Structure 1
C-alpha cells in the first residue's frame, strides 16, 4: 500500500471549488500496521481520485515510555510507524501523543489535540492552509479535531464509524463530550443509518446527520476460480470463513461454539489479536480443533482468494457500525451470514446476499448457516448485489457536504 499510485483517473463528480482537507484520525494504516483503519484510507483514496480534493493526513500515534503490549497494545503497534510516509500518493504524518495506559480514556481527546497541534500549524506554515478538518471516529479523534478546529479557525466534519457511538457514549464523560461536540461540529457523517439513529437519540436534528456508507473496492475484491482457490488452500468439504480482529465483539468464539451443530463443516478464521490462544483452546475443548484453522492476519491483496474459496462468510459480531468484510465477500461472489446488528441489515438486503442471524447464540448461528448452505449459490448474483455498493455515491456525498459547509450552506 505504501507509496501506491491512484488507480483511477480524476473524474469530476460535483461542480464547485477545489477543496483542501486535513484528514485526521488515529484509524489509518501505516507501514507497521498496514490494515489498521484501512476503510478510512479507502474512502480518502476514492475522494482524492476525483481530482477535486487535495488532502494531507495527520494520523497521530499514541506514545508511552513503557511499550509492553499488556499495558497498551496500541502503543506497541505504534512503535513501528514512521514519522512520515506516503499512502496512495498522499502524504501521511504520524505525530506522537502521550497516552498513559489504563487512565487515558477521559484525557485522550485533550492529549491527542495537544500532540497534533504543532503538526497542523506546521502544515499551514508550509503552504497547506487546508479548508476544513475531516475527522474519523468520534472519540477521541472527533473531539480532538473539534478542539483543533476551534484553535485554528477551521470547520470540522466528523464521521462516526461504530463503537465510537454504539459503545463509548455509555461512559459518562466521553458520552458527554460526544454529545457536546455533536451539537457544535460543522458536519456529521455516519456510515450507517443505525448509527445516525444514535445521534438523533442525542437530540441531534435529523438534517444535520448525513449517512455515507462505506463502499467496496470492486477491483481488489473480485472472484477467482473457486476450485483452484480451494485446492491452493487445501480446503475440503463445506468451509466457512470469519474475518476480523481476534477480539470479543467480533464473535469468532460464537462460530466455533456453533460447529458441534454443523457436522462436517470447517471454519477458517483470518485475523490476529489477543484471543488467538483462547480460540484455539476453545476449539480443542469442544472437540472441533480438526475443523478450525487459524490463518493469522491475511494481507488485503490476498483476501479475495479466501473469500472466493469459502462457501460462506460468517460474521457473528455483537456490534458493527458497517462491516466491510460483508461487502468484500459478496464482491468475490460469496454469500454471508451476519448477526442482525447495527449496519448489517443495511447490507444483507436480498437472498443472493445471504442471511441475517437472529441472535448471538450458537444455535441461531448454526441454524442460519444450515439454511444458507442448503440453498443453491449464485456467485454472479451475489457479485451484482455488491456492485450496488460502489464508492461513487459516498464520494459525491462528501463533496456536496464539504462545499456546502465552506459556502456557508
Structure 2
C-alpha cells in the first residue's frame, strides 16, 4: 500500500442541495491510504494514518491541493486540432472549422495521431474521466478506444450517427449505423475502464430512422449523449424538421432516449417543460461555458436547472471550447452566472470543485467508483502544486482556509500547475 500526505480536498456532498460548507471535506495535513489495486482504503489526518500504518511508504504532496481527478462530460475527440475558430455562431463554425477537420479522421493514420494527442491532452489537463463525443468513422473509434485503454482513463464514447444535412462523407444510413455501433459495443463496452455511449450528433442531422437505431442500441445498457438547445437558429431549424415534436428535447424523448443514462450538452435555451422532463427522468446536462461564450450561444440558466432538479456537470466542448482544462470551465461558469445578475446562481468555490469532479462522476454513473476520496473508491486524483514563486503559489501561501485556497486555484490555475495525475492509483505524468 501507499500513504499519500497532502492537503486533501473533495466534495462528497451536494452543494446544490446541502449547505456548500457541509458538502466539502478537507484536511490541511491529510492522508490517503491506497492499496496496490489503486483503491482508497482509509482517509484521515496524516498523523493518525501514519501511526496506524508506520511501515507503509509515504508520498509527500504538501504545498498544493490534492483533488479528485477532473471529469469532462462533453468533449469532441475529432476537434482537438480545431480549437480557436472564433467569431462565428454554431452552424457556421461547424461548417467552416469542425466538420472539415472531422472528415480527416477517415484516414486511420491521421485519426491515430489525433487520438494520441487527445488522450495525452486529457491527462495533462488533469481529466481522468470523460464522456467523449466520438468520430463518424468506426475505424477512428477503434483507434480512440485502443489509445484510451492503454492510458487507463475512464472513457465513455461512441460512434457519431448522422444521416442528413452534413457533409456527405460524414453521413451513414440507419443500417450501417446500427451494425457499426453494435460491433463497437461488443468490442469495447465494459472493457476495463471503457464504456459505450450511443451518440447521434444532434436532431438537426439525425432523422427519425436514426433515432430508432439509437433506441435499439440503448437496449444494450449503454449510455446516451447528444446536443440540445445550444443555439437559437439550431433550435428553430430542429422545430421545422420535427413539426410534431413538443420541443427540441421531445425529438429524443419520443424515442425513449431521455433516461438517467443520458447526458445532453448545452441546453442553453431550455424551456421549463423540457427542464421538468429532464429532472423527472434523471437525465443530466453538460454545461460548456467557454464554448457557449466563444460561439455566442448564450448564458446558461443554471438556476432554472437547479430549480427543476436537473443535474449539471461541466464539459470542455473542445474544439468550440477553448481548451481541455476543466478548471477553466469552472471559472467561466462562475463568470457567466455573475453576468446573469439576479437570474444567475450564486456559485462558490465548493460548487466549482463539485461541478468539476463529483457532479461529472454522477452524470456518467461512475459515482460509486470515482469523484471523491471516500474509502472504497478508486484513487483518481490531480495534484495542483504550482512552481515556487508563481502567482498561484504566492496566493496559496496567503490563503486563509481551504475554501479560500480553492477560490485562488480556480482563479489562477492552468495545466502548467498540475504536478501529477493518478488514474486508479497509477501516476500518469512523467517525472
**TM-score bracket for this pair, using the shorter chain length:** 0.3 to 0.5
Higher RCO (CA < 8 A, seq sep 6+):
2
Normalised TM-score (structure 2): 0.35
Normalised TM-score (structure 1): 0.37
